[in-house]
Amino acid sequence: MNVAIIQFPGTNCDIDTYRVFNDYLGVDATLFWHENTDNLEKYDAIILPGGFSYGDRLRAGIIAAYSPVIKQLKKLSLKGKPIIGICNGFQILVESGLLPGALLTNSNLKFICKWVNLKVEHNNLFTNSFQSDSVIRMPIAHNEGRYYVSDDKLQELERNNQIILRYSDSDGNTSIDNNPNGSISNIAAVSNANGNVLGMMPHPERASDSLLSPYSTDDGIEIFRSMILSLEVMIKE
């Protein structure tokens, strides 16, 4: 099994993500420059890691959304290829139309860097290592993380079980008091309608070693492990 980790100018979570796959999960990972014309189809999954692509010029993710690699991602997403966008990667997926909605400036107009509680709303290929309604911990670090969709689109996401993670307290309560950035309906992660593309503002690669967590958690690695286990089942079939 092998995974491609896409690099843009300004990406800064690529090496952390690479190490989680190679050193912790034993999965071959390749750092893939966004202008590389090699075929991504040979990879089992694709990760767009966090950072500040193009220095967040114009707005976060918009320039990277026009990169040559995005054309491949759009085609592969329609074939069911698992794709995860983390933080800036999520912003890129939204700006490129691979995921619905928009990611706006945090409601407090400040960069937020903190650990948060997250309620697992639905199980899909990225969360099947967790029980539904589980509460997990991961850090966030962003200035434009306030997820927004129209009311009609929000209802559609709800109907299709596309809301994967919500900001919550330690008991799973998803009130506005537990919303760090003002995201609509406390949304922290969403998928596409087919469930093979995931965008998330929390950083799973920074919560993959309990020794590095102030809460002794490695919940983040389970996002990646869930995907790997799902892929193994798909390959056997």
* Known catalytic residue at 203: yes
The residue annotated as part of the active site, out of 121, 142, 203, 222, is 203
* Known catalytic residue at 205: yes
The residue annotated as part of the active site, out of 13, 87, 142, 144, is 87
The three-state DSSP-derived secondary structure of the chain is CEEEEEECCCECCHHHHHHHHHHHCCCEEEEEECCCCCCHHHCCEEEECCECHHHHCCCCCCCHHHCHHHHHHHHHHHCCCCEEEECHHHHHHHHCCCCCCEEECCCCCCCEEEEEEEEECCCCCCCCCCCCCCEEEEEEEECCCEEECCHHHHHHHHHCCCEEEEEECCCCCCCHHHCCCCCHHHEEEEECCCCCEEEECCCHHHHCCHHHCCCCCCHHHHHHHHHHHHHHHHHHC
The residue annotated as part of the active site, out of 95, 121, 144, 205, is 205
Q: What residues are annotated to the active site?
A: 87, 203, 205
